[in-house]
Amino acid sequence: MNCVICGHESGYNRAVIDRFSGAKIGQLCMNCERDEFGKVFEYGSRGDDQCVLCRRDGHIALPRFVPTEERNGNTIVVRSTIDDGDAPQLCDEHFHAITEDEPPKRVVRR
Ligand SMILES: [Zn+2]
Ligand SMILES: [Zn+2]
């Protein structure tokens, strides 16, 4: 899965999930999380259903991947499972704002 913002291989940082259909839309890499959100997600997850950037209903959930070790005989297999505890959420507007190619147009008034 690739990052929904930069399109590169995202590693295991966060999953991007449509809360209504449950569909996994993609992933979010660590660089984009930092660039777009800074530390918002670290402090922004309030355990409620609102967008971390505004007060609208969350539409997209961004749960973190948590590596878990499983012992399989003598080998240890590391899997990444999604921690869907208090995942930060984004409303559809903010989600589109960060994933759209073009930056939002600025209206300049003179
Ligand atoms: Zn990215
Ligand atoms: Zn929002």
With a cut of 80, say whether residue 48 has pLDDT above it: no
- Going from the Cα of 22 to the center of ligand 1, the distance in angstroms, rounded, reads 21
Largest interatomic CA distance in the chain: 71
Q: Domain segments of the chain: what residues?
A: 14-99
pLDDT digits (tens, 9 = 90+) for 76-97: 998 888 887 789 999 999 999 9
- Going from the Cα of 71 to the center of ligand 2, the distance in angstroms, rounded, reads 41
Q: How far apart are CA 36 and CA 26, in angstroms?
A: 16
Among the bound ligands, the one closest to the CA of 55: 2
Q: How far apart are CA 18 and CA 5, in angstroms?
A: 16
Q: How far apart are CA 17 and CA 95, in angstroms?
A: 11
- Going from the Cα of 9 to the center of ligand 1, the distance in angstroms, rounded, reads 8
Phi, psi of 86 (to 5 degrees): -95, 65
pLDDT digits (tens, 9 = 90+) for 51-84: 998 989 999 999 999 888 999 899 999 888 888 7
- Going from the Cα of 16 to the center of ligand 1, the distance in angstroms, rounded, reads 12
Banded model confidence at residue 44, pLDDT cuts 50, 70, 90: low
* pLDDT of res. 109: 67
